[in-house]
Amino acid sequence: MNIILIFTYGVSLKQWDEDSLLDREILLYKKLIDKYGLNFTFITFGTEEDEFYNKLYNNIKIIPVYKHIKKSKYKLIDLVNVMLFSRKLKLLISNPSIIKTNQLTGSVLGVFLKWIFKVPLIVRTGYNLFDFSKYEKRRVAVRLLYFILTQVSLLFSDTYLVTSFVDKNSLERKFFTKKNIKVFPNWVEKINQNTSAPRYSKGVLSVGRLEVQKNYSQLINLISNSDFKLTIIGKGSLENELKLMSKSFNVNLEIIEKIRFNEINSIYQKFKIFISSSSFEGNPKVVLEAMANGCLVIARNNINNREIIVQNENGILYSDEDNLKELIKFYLENEEKRLEIINNAFKYIIKNNTLDHLCKREYQEYLMLSKS
């Protein structure tokens, strides 16, 4: 079985590598190859540099779009060129079984290839792009574009994958669907249930882009004038602003801009407390990873976090009215209660989010579609 995977529009394997995402993003497909003998064709939005990765992975053929066409600096012209290029892909790909997109923005090419190859299409989304565009207060034209893209993808896909029931319910309320929406949550590779190893007594960890969505400025404000050390793994446009703010609010802040996926688990395992301060999320991978590595997760009380966290059972939800410093202090000092919640978090991850579990579900979806 040969699966075509279309990358997010504009994203290349080289970019995955430079952003320290490659090791993680490739894992699902490596496991599908090793366990079920599948073959993949990656259509990336890279240049011939992406072909370097051909030698790293067996059973994966890489086709970089911008090796075959010139990238335009005008997005509309570039998108038209990509669509025209889809016809040439018939000469480069043999006997595909299924087409899958990695994110919604690759779905237009996916729809074209569905027509060309006459095979099923899976549109996978990590978050609801239309809802996010509203939360981010994007221009009306951008919101309309994402609405149309979502509606077209729902109509022409055979399966539309989302990572949360929140997204599924939102799509079914706001769009016309064929009832083809399925929830495949994000996965974690490993679960580390060793809770006896030493962890920082005053350390607090957070992971995410240094952008408005992650709400780090409020987090710094909420833990101001405390003796906690806040470590954030991430990079973004607000780095200098957050550093200046941390000095003004007397917060000991460390920012780690870049870390490889195979190193991040060891970072989680040094901390007792993980904070997710995001205003909105999809199915947050970092929350799941923190839970899988024995951190007690204290997450902002938003609708997506509530889908994962049951208050005081497998994590803690906080709101603006809560005294976050007191919450952190309580769970740093109260080991018995913290370990009780952490053990419940392990059970949640084992039941819902292991890589093996999601790999099996993905393969079963391929089988079902290929026989339909």
How far apart, in whole angstroms, are the C-alpha atoms of residue 77 and residue 15?
22
Please tell me the predicted confidence (pLDDT) of residue 137.
87
pLDDT at 325: 95
Which residues does the chain have with pLDDT short of 50? none
Looking from the CA of 263 toward its CB, the CA atoms found within 13 Å total 7
DSSP state of 103: S
Residue 274 contacts residue 268 (beta carbons within 8 Å): yes
Q: How far apart are CA 302 and CA 286, in angstroms?
A: 15
Structure-token pair, residue 268: 């989680």
> Which DSSP string corresponds to 356-369?
HHHHHHHHHHHHHH
CA-to-CA dists, residue 244 to 61, 90, 203, 234, 241, angstroms: 46, 54, 20, 16, 5
Instruction: Report the residue count for the chain.
Output: 372
pTM: 0.92
Phi, psi (5° rounding) for residue 283?
A: -115, 90
What the chain holds in terms of domains, given with CATH numbers, is 2-187+354-371 (3.40.50.2000), 203-352 (3.40.50.2000)
Angle, CA of 36, 42 and 45, to the nearest 5°: 160
Which strand ranges, in their side-by-side order, compose the sheet holding 98-101? 60-64, 39-44, 2-6, 98-101, 121-124, 159-162, 181-183
